[in-house]
Structure 1
């Protein structure tokens, strides 16, 4: 075998040792504040929406829900933010919000 191969093999084995010595720990879930604005007065409606969706979805514990608007500035981001807040605060759910509005300036 060549010295290059042996050096690569040693580097690979050393890398495996590092992985064994320093296992990667899973990230700890920390709540993120969505907004400093006061909550909207739609809590009851959002709970009802969550209950209706749970009844329609096959596995209400693991789902992706998409909200879409037909025009710009329709307020979908605000509705989704409120829906996510209610799911976290009132139902203890884990929520990830992704805003796909390519026109929004942040």
Structure 2
């Protein structure tokens, strides 16, 4: 599963001892032109993850996540472009407004 599968949650990582549920988006795409297509895929994927969280699906499938702080992590293979960083900043505001967090890492 990856960013190309926009209707699927790629990875769920639970750490009940730390109280964290991390939903990971696996992004293996380069940030080359056309960047808009990549951003659209990322937007669709983030929206899917928000529906998964807000609809209670996380707790249905992973009961141990019930009291966990939830965050969406974008695991990128390539360094994001300036456009991508701007988008992630705006998306973070929306995700935080819904009561969750949005982070990214490259590696």
Same fold (TM over 0.5): no
Tell me which interval the TM-score lies in, with the shorter structure as reference length: 0.3 to 0.5
- Pair member with larger Rg: 1
Would you tell me which structure has more helix in proportion to its own residues?
Answer: 1
* TM-score, length-scaled by structure 2: 0.33
Select the structure with the greater relative contact order (CA < 8 A; seq sep ≥ 6). 2
The structure with the largest strand share of the pair is 2
TM-score normalized by structure 1? 0.34
